């Protein structure tokens, strides 16, 4: 039996899912290694700075660094020194909306020499159904036989620290031993365990995201129908939901974006041989909402002579993550049609074109609330018209 230095190595551990996971386990007293190819992010983390917004993460990071139970490395060899290997790399879809396997295979090619049969490998990234079984076969063909499990991450970005500790953990093993070893690990942080087979678990994660994506699409489609009819969707929604629990699940309209919901719905569509019609419809509705807004603006305003100000460039409220944000689709479409498009966001740091809120309000003829960050709650628009599909400002549908 091999002696290990680290209890856990999180591969992709500088990312949005890997880092909170590493910090939660470090806080519980585990000796955690973070392996990531992003040296800039590792340097930032090493200085006690979390590279993205995540509630409670900075405090845990500072504690872990002080306690010396967090090791940061860009050298794959650290995998060989770790008992449990947790994979949290990104799993995007390609330009044809099919899963991008190259990232997974490249990662495993890199860590392959450092895997052994005394280790537990936990796939935590969201994967195409069948990936865990494929991985087990592939590793076996290379003569590597760690215990292999799939334990999907289901937290919502920004609340990961709290949710890792409170959500039940779906645990799936390639073998009963792998399932038990993964359960034992999560038992140590006191979460409830739900056992599924790997294929069931892979579906469960994709269903979670596709279900949410479709739920948002229902609201967005209702919004477009009512708005086209000159009716305020918020009023219809509030009226129909009043003391009517069967519609508790009906939500407000909003730009449904980000690095997960769209791509995981497309992963499922790809698995379903492009016959996941509900998922495709949800994609058309959610992506189409931007075009609906820009089209209506074009009817109401002479866009060639109109400066448009976009408020909120992150993919969701009160977060700094601009990955796959529909605000950028809005910007692209309007840049083509309008005199000028100017943008602002209180959190996003990755975009050098952003301007202060007051300047955007001053210089714009029309504003669009792309993301309802809390800073916009009492927004002073100085008489400028504002499009608010979210119903956030309480003014009803203004266009």
Q: Is 37 in the site for ligand NAD (CB under 6 A)?
A: yes
> Which strands, in side-by-side order, build the sheet including 386-387?
340-344, 307-311, 366-369, 386-387
The one among 120, 148, 260, 283 contacting ligand NAD by CB under 6 A: 260
Tell the smallest beta-carbon distance from residue 398 to ligand NAD (Å): 31
Tell the smallest beta-carbon distance from residue 94 to ligand NAD (Å): 14
Q: Give the Cβ contact number of residue 48 at 10 Å.
A: 14
Using alpha carbons, select from 317, 316, 313 the residue that is nearest to residue 351: 313
* Residues near ligand NAD (CB under 6 A), total: 27
Tell the smallest beta-carbon distance from residue 104 to ligand NAD (Å): 9
Tell the smallest beta-carbon distance from residue 201 to ligand NAD (Å): 13
Tell the smallest beta-carbon distance from residue 134 to ligand NAD (Å): 16
Task: Return the exposure string of 103-142: e unless at least 16 CB atoms fall within 10 Å of the residue's CB, then b.
Answer: ebeebbeebeebbeeebbbbbbbbbbbebbbbbbeebeee
Tell the smallest beta-carbon distance from residue 37 to ligand NAD (Å): 5
The one among 110, 195, 241, 384 contacting ligand NAD by CB under 6 A: 110
| Residue nearest to ligand NAD according to CB distances in the complex | 15
DSSP, res 168? P
Stretch in the footprint of ligand NAD (CB under 6 A) among 99-107, 221-229, 231-239, 381-389:
99-107
Positive or negative, the CA dihedral 85, 7, 116, 185 is: negative
Strands (E) across 147-288 are located at: 147-150, 169-173, 193-195
Tell the smallest beta-carbon distance from residue 233 to ligand NAD (Å): 27
Whole-angstrom distance, CA of residue 37 vs CA of residue 13: 9
Q: Is 49 in the site for ligand NAD (CB under 6 A)?
A: no
Q: Is 11 in the site for ligand NAD (CB under 6 A)?
A: yes
Two tokens, residue 228: 């086209």
Element (DSSP H or E) covering residue 192: none
List the x/- string, 220-259, binding to ligand NAD by CB under 6 A: ---------------------------------------x
List the x/- string, 134-173, binding to ligand NAD by CB under 6 A: -------------------x-x-x----------------
Stretch in the footprint of ligand NAD (CB under 6 A) among 23-31, 101-109, 161-169, 384-392:
101-109
Which region holds residue 226: left if phi is over 0, alpha if psi is between -120 and 50, else beta?
alpha
Q: Is 71 in the site for ligand NAD (CB under 6 A)?
A: no
Q: Is 194 in the site for ligand NAD (CB under 6 A)?
A: no
Q: Is 195 in the site for ligand NAD (CB under 6 A)?
A: no
Whole-angstrom distance, CA of residue 285 vs CA of residue 305: 29
Two tokens, residue 385: 């018209």
DSSP string for residues in 323-388: TT-HHHHHHHHHHHHSSEEEEE-SS--S-TT---HHHHHHH-SEEEESS--GGGTT---TT--EE-
Tokens 């692209």 correspond to what residue? 332
Beta-bridge partner residues of 173? 149
- C-beta of 86 vs 357, nearer to ligand NAD: 86
Tell the smallest beta-carbon distance from residue 87 to ligand NAD (Å): 9
- Which residues in this chain contact ligand NAD in the complex, by CB under 6 A? 11-12, 14-18, 35-38, 41, 88-91, 103, 106-107, 110, 125-126, 153, 155, 157, 259-260
């Amino acid at each position: 039996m091999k002696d290990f230095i680290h209890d856990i190595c999180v591969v992709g551990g500088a990312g949005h899912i890997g880092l909170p996971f590493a910090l939660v386990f470090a806080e519980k007293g585990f000796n955690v290694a973070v392996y990531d190819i992003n040296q800039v992010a590792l340097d930032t983390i090493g200085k006690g700075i979390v590279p993205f917004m995540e509630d409670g993460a900075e405090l845990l990071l500072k504690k872990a660094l002080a306690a010396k139970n967090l090791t940061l490395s860009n050298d794959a060899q650290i995998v060989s020194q770790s008992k449990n290997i947790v994979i949290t790399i990104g799993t995007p879809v390609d330009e044809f909306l099919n899963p991008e396997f190259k990232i997974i295979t490249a990662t495993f090619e890199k860590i392959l020499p450092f895997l052994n049969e005394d280790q537990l490998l936990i796939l935590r990234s969201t994967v195409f159904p069948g990936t865990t079984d494929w991985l087990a076969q592939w590793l076996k063909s290379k003569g590597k036989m760690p215990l292999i499990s799939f334990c999907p991450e289901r937290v919502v970005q920004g609340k990961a620290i709290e949710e890792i500790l409170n959500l039940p953990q779906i645990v799936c093993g390639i073998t009963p031993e792998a399932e038990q070893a993964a359960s034992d690990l999560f038992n140590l942080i006191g979460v409830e365990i739900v056992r599924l087979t790997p294929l069931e678990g892979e579906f469960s994660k994709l269903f979670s995201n596709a279900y949410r994506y479709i739920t948002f699409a229902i609201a967005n489609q209702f919004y477009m129908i009512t708005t086209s009819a000159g009716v305020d969707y918020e009023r219809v929604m509030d009226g129909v939901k009043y003391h009517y629990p069967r519609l508790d699940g009906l939500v407000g309209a909003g730009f449904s974006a980000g690095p997960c919901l769209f791509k995981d719905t497309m992963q499922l569509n790809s698995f379903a041989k492009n016959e996941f019609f509900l998922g495709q419809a949800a994609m058309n509705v959610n992506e189409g909402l931007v075009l609906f807004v820009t089209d209506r603006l074009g009817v109401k305003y002479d866009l060639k002579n109109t400066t448009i100000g976009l408020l909120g460039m992150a993919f969701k409220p009160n977060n700094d993550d601009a990955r796959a944000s529909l605000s950028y689709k809005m910007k692209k479409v309007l840049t083509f049609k309008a005199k000028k498009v100017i943008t602002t966001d209180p959190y996003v740091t990755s975009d050098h074109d952003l301007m202060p809120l007051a300047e955007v309000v001053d210089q714009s003829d029309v504003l669009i609330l792309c993301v309802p960050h809390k800073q916009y709650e009492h927004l002073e628009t100085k008489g400028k018209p504002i499009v608010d599909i979210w119903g956030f400002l309480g003014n009803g549908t203004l266009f």
